[in-house]
């Protein structure tokens, strides 16, 4: 719904931004799809998540694309969906650390954080 306060959306709302480029990579405009799917940090994290799950790595072009076409058993599918949401939240946290604390994380550290909070008993609660 384009409600996340990424630079391109803030600019559309008339908030004066010094730049609308991605805080993390500076390679592209900071849109929701860029930060969650296309930014090199996000791509590397998704690659690690899929590797952790022994799934073929995906290259999503949109958020809709990400949530379509998974052929997993029901329980695994629900767990993977929860992990996808956790991954998105972790990417968002990394961006906030870059913006507000000038601290850049790594995909390796982010995956460790995801794995800590992604235990089935942690997700069920």
User: 124 pLDDT exceeds 70?
Assistant: no
Domain annotation covers residue 113: yes
Whole domain around residue 42: which residue ranges? 38-124
pTM of the model: 0.82
Model confidence at 80, pLDDT cuts 50, 70, 90, reads confident
Domain annotation covers residue 1: no
Domain annotation covers residue 82: yes
Domain annotation covers residue 79: yes
Domain annotation covers residue 120: yes
Taking the C-alpha atoms of residue 86 and residue 113, their distance in angstroms, rounded to an integer, is 9
Domain annotation covers residue 12: no
Could you tell me if 46 and 58 are in contact, meaning their C-beta atoms sit under 8 angstroms apart?
Answer: yes
Number of domains in the chain: 1
Give the model's pLDDT for residue 106: 94
Could you tell me if 29 and 22 are in contact, meaning their C-beta atoms sit under 8 angstroms apart?
Answer: yes
Domain annotation covers residue 61: yes
Domain annotation covers residue 106: yes
């Amino acid at each position: 719904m384009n409600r996340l306060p990424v630079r391109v959306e803030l600019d559309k709302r008339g908030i004066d931004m010094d730049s609308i480029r991605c805080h993390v990579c500076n390679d592209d405009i900071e849109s929701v799809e860029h930060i969650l799917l296309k930014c090199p940090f996000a791509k590397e994290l998704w690659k690690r998540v899929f590797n952790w799950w022994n799934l073929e790595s995906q290259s999503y072009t949109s958020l809709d694309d990400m949530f379509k076409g998974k052929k997993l058993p029901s329980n695994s599918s629900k767990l993977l969906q929860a992990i996808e949401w956790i991954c998105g939240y972790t990417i968002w946290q990394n961006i906030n650390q870059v913006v507000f604390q000038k601290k850049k994380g790594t995909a390796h550290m982010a995956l460790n954080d995801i794995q800590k909070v992604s235990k089935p008993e942690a997700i069920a609660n």
